[in-house]
Structure 1
Amino acid sequence: VKKLAVAITRDYRDKNPILLGILKGSFIFLSDLVRQLDFPLEVEFVRVSSYGSGQETSGKVKMVQGLKLNVKGRHVLVVEDIVDTGVTLSFLMDYLKKKKPASLKLCALTDKPSRRRVPVKIDYLGLTVPDKFLVGCGLDCDEKYRNLPDICCLEE
């Protein structure tokens, strides 16, 4: 998180960005990240879902909680816990581009490129992870294990 914060500080120090967390998974990572950033910023959340219950995506993306802030002309950094198939993030990034931000970038705690269905550009990445179901640091399975202090692999 500290290394990501250094890079984000370099790029956003004078831009008063909006850090846009994707609920629910990103809130722990976003909380850790913003405490490492010592410049003016705003925090906003959206909730987008493509998961039913369990470990598999439904493939259908829906906006559960939309934006409350106007992002037009603002620098927006989307903060996500994991990039998996890319379907949800592709949907969200397209949605945000229509709002005409000055810039739009993505910061992800983890990336699972082996599962990618659609391309996603990650501008700031914590870890590349294998195709295992992960929990902890905000990552969950049916709302469980999100509060674990480390990223762990869920055994079957």
Structure 2
Amino acid sequence: MESSEISGDLTSVLLTEKQILDKIAELSRRIEADYAGEKVLLVGVLKGAVMVMADLARELKLPIDMDWMAVSSYGSGTKSSGVVRILKDLDSDLTGRKVLIVEDIIDSGLTLSWLRANLESRGAHSVEICALLRKPEAAKVDVDVRYVGFEIPNEFVVGYGLDYAEKYRNLRDIGILAPHVYA
């Protein structure tokens, strides 16, 4: 889906598809340098990280395995309950593995902090994080993120995997959702 097709739902385009893909290529070169000669397990966080994970995996020029996890801390509301639930666990054994969590966006950091600790407790050799987006103003905990694509303002963004009520995930760009859509 192109931004022009839903321009009434967006206040602006924050990042174009080209900017996103260029940043993923840049992050991939850094990951390749850091993991040269090693096999990495990419752990994508469903559902938002699907696009980032797919493009990152295709761009990387090193051996990888891929797995997926789905976690929730929201229950039925729009505010975090503070309790993280695993909705879909990994199929992979992490013992001795080098793990790279792939995320679409970091808001408060609470769920991601829990996720990192959980994966470390499973015997991973190392657990690092790669996030396309980070909202520094929304952070409630400090999470050490090795690879960050873009720092963005604390706005409601959609596209490139990010959604509102399961809509807009297939938008090629990342845009700021207009308040009238979710008000």
| Fold agreement, TM-score > 0.5 | yes
CA deviations over 1:103-131 (Å, ceiling 9, x no partner): 11000000011111111111001000100
- C-alpha displacement at 1:67, in angstroms? 1.4
Structure 2 unaligned residues grouped into runs of 5+: 1-23
State the alpha-carbon separation in 2 of the partners of residues 42 and 26 from structure 1: 16
Q: Residue 154 of structure 1 aligns with which residue?
A: 177
Pairwise CA RMSD:
1.3
Conserved 8 A contact 1:72-1:102: yes
Q: Residue 66 of structure 2 aligns with which residue?
A: 43
Q: Residue 45 of structure 2 aligns with which residue?
A: 22
For residue 87 of structure 2, the aligned residue among 64, 67, 91 is 64
Q: Residue 160 of structure 2 aligns with which residue?
A: 137
1:82 aligns with 2:108: no
Conserved 8 A contact 1:20-1:44: yes
State the alpha-carbon separation in 2 of the partners of residues 134 and 56 from structure 1: 17
With over 3 angstroms needed to count, the CA separation of the structure-2 counterparts of 1:53 and 1:152, relative to structure 1, is: farther
- C-alpha displacement at 1:154, in angstroms? 0.6
State the alpha-carbon separation in 2 of the partners of residues 11 and 55 from structure 1: 37
CA deviations over 1:74-122 (Å, ceiling 9, x no partner): 1000000001001110110110110111111000000011111111111
Equivalent residues in 2 for 1:48-127, closer than 5 Å:
48-52=71-75, 56-127=79-150
Secondary structure of 1:117 counterpart: coil
Structure 1 unaligned residues grouped into runs of 5+: none
TM-score normalised by length of structure 2:
0.81
- C-alpha displacement at 1:54, in angstroms? 7.5
Give the number of the structure whose alpha-carbon radius of gyration is greater: 2
- C-alpha displacement at 1:59, in angstroms? 3.1
The residue type paired with residue 33 of structure 2 is R
Greater helix fraction, Structure 1 or Structure 2:
2
Conserved 8 A contact 1:53-1:142: no
Q: Which has the higher contact order (CA 8 A, sep 6+)?
A: 2
